[in-house]
Amino acid sequence: MEPNVASKQRSYDSVKVSCTFNSLSASVLESGNVHAPIDEAQVLKNKSQEIEPYLSGRCIYLVGMMGSGKTTVGKILSGVLGYSFFDCDTLIEQSVDGTSVAEIFKLYGEGFFREKETEVLQKLSLMRQLVVSTGGGAVTRPINWRYMQKGISVWLDVPLEALAQRIAAVGTDSRPLLHQCESGDAYTEALNRLSTLWEERGEAYANANARVSLENIAVKLGHKDVSSLTPVTIAIEALEQIEGFLKEEDDMAIAGY
Ligand SMILES: Nc1ncnc2c1ncn2[C@@H]1O[C@H](COP(=O)(O)OP(=O)(O)O)[C@@H](O)[C@H]1O
Ligand SMILES: O=C(O)C1=C[C@@H](OP(=O)(O)O)[C@@H](O)[C@H](O)C1
Ligand SMILES: [Mg+2]
């Protein structure tokens, strides 16, 4: 049975206490003040178990720029939550007879790809208990937000320099919008393209229900920069931010909004 609002609120308070404990213990251990192994995987598991009942089966949509880790973190989150994982790019490829994203752009153009992306999101919006990794451009169409609003959207906010480093390391074969025609090193070219895209669509990411800022995580855990943050650390922060959003939603319901 669905818990009533008051008991849900009480259990949230206990979730908060144990989550705070987990975050503190993780950061204290990482700062090296305590000599004990940090079992990040266990922290992740505990956090997902605490939050999962409050999701009520709602899907989680990861949004963010290309290379922000949506596919990588999405797989981790789906695994710990016991949700199914879907990557929009893969579903689009399947819907075009296994044609790769790069080929779809080349053969049919970006407009066709965006139509397919919306069709995929529409279908996913009818389902429950999914973690969905969207493509970086899904945020540009208001209709896509209407579908994602059936679930909880989470923005992976990664500095452009870190994105460019990741993209330069793996190449741009699967990301046609980053294919370069200029001459220059891979990092600089990726950074230039990403900066232009960010100007066009940066604001759209802020529509998400929750934001996972890698810069904030690095500060919280005392890391010098974001490049040392593992996908599991980021997944833990994503669950914490989702928890914050659920709490806010609950507070609004109690206040009668
Ligand atoms: N926390 C991380 N630290 C370092 N590299 C990462 C991290 N998360 C993802 N990556 C790498 O960055 C690249 C892009 O990740 P991916 O999950 O495909 O991003 P997206 O789906 O948002 O485009 C991949 O090569 C992946 O292995
Ligand atoms: O930002 C974009 O417009 C795109 C991002 C890609 O997905 P990832 O964000 O997973 O790389 C893919 O959907 C396509 O190449 C377009
Ligand atoms: Mg992806």
For residue 252, the model assigns a pLDDT of 86
How does strand 210-213 pair with strand 84-87? unpaired
Residues in the ligand 1 pocket, defined by CB under 6 Å = 64, 66-72, 133, 166, 170, 229-231, 234
What pLDDT digit, counting tens, does each position of 115-156 carry? 999 999 999 999 999 999 999 999 999 999 999 999 999 999
What distances in angstroms separate CA 220 from CA 23, 87, 187, 226, one per listed residue? 10, 30, 27, 11
Radius of gyration of the chain (CA): 19
ipTM of the prediction: 0.99
Read off the pLDDT band of 28 (50, 70, 90).
very low
Residue 167 CB less than 6 A away from ligand 2: no
Q: Which domains does the chain have, with CATH numbers?
A: 55-254 (3.40.50.300)
Which atom of ligand 2 approaches the CA of 87 most closely? Answer: 10
